[in-house]
Amino acid sequence: MKNILIHCAMAKEGEIIAKKLELVKNIEDKIYATYKGKIKETEINLVITGIGKQKTAIGLTKYLCENEKPEIIINIGYAGSTSAEIGKWVNISRSYNLEWHIPGEEKYSMNDFGNEELEKIEGLEKLPCYSSETFVTKTDIKEKVIFDMELHSVSIIADMYKIKLLSLKKISDNLNMDDYYKNIKTENIMELESSIPYIEKYIK
């Protein structure tokens, strides 16, 4: 039986996905909450770790120590961007640590873990993601990139445990404020159910 793990940072993100996949709440403690269910021959677990790289690292590591190792981790959630279109889904191609700036080492990239390319799926724009401990309101990065607060911790742990990682981010805001929310309804930005068709090949 296939075993997949969906990771969300916030309860409101995870609850939306759990409801859509008809997952039932399994465990809730001070570190993480989980939902559990099956679709055909696939066991699906969803873990909610909390916001930020530290909570994510602690929660996800604790989960993996206490449960069967999944074949793949699927990270789903909201994210900001320099200029990606608000309301669109993006497939993250590689993960970086925005705060990582150590003399003698590559900026944003750790030398040991977290440098692997992530799983790619058809039909979505591929962009790199920079994880930060705070909301990003300005940056020197000129390229079109994504900002979140958790993915680099997930990437490090997936790399260490040799687990495939897929990340789908719904763009909720960007730094190009001139056209912020132009011609887009808020409900279309905040919904996450539309991620399910993109991950169907993993869960069915």
Q: What is the pLDDT of residues 6-21, one digit of tens each?
A: 999 999 999 999 999 9
pLDDT attached to residue 144: 94
In CATH, what number does 2-203 get?
3.40.50.1580
Instruction: Give the global pTM.
Output: 0.93
CA pair distance 128, 130, nearest whole angstrom: 7
pLDDT attached to residue 178: 56
Average pLDDT over residues 112-120: 85
Q: Which region holds residue 114: left if phi is over 0, alpha if psi is between -120 and 50, else beta?
A: left
Tell which wins on pLDDT, 56 or 115: 56
pLDDT attached to residue 96: 95
Burial, 165: exposed, middle or buried (Cβ in 10 Å; 0-12, 13-18, 19+)?
Answer: buried
Tell which wins on pLDDT, 111 or 31: 31
Residue 107 above 80 pLDDT?
yes
CA distances from 30 to 11, 22, 27, 81 (A): 13, 24, 10, 31
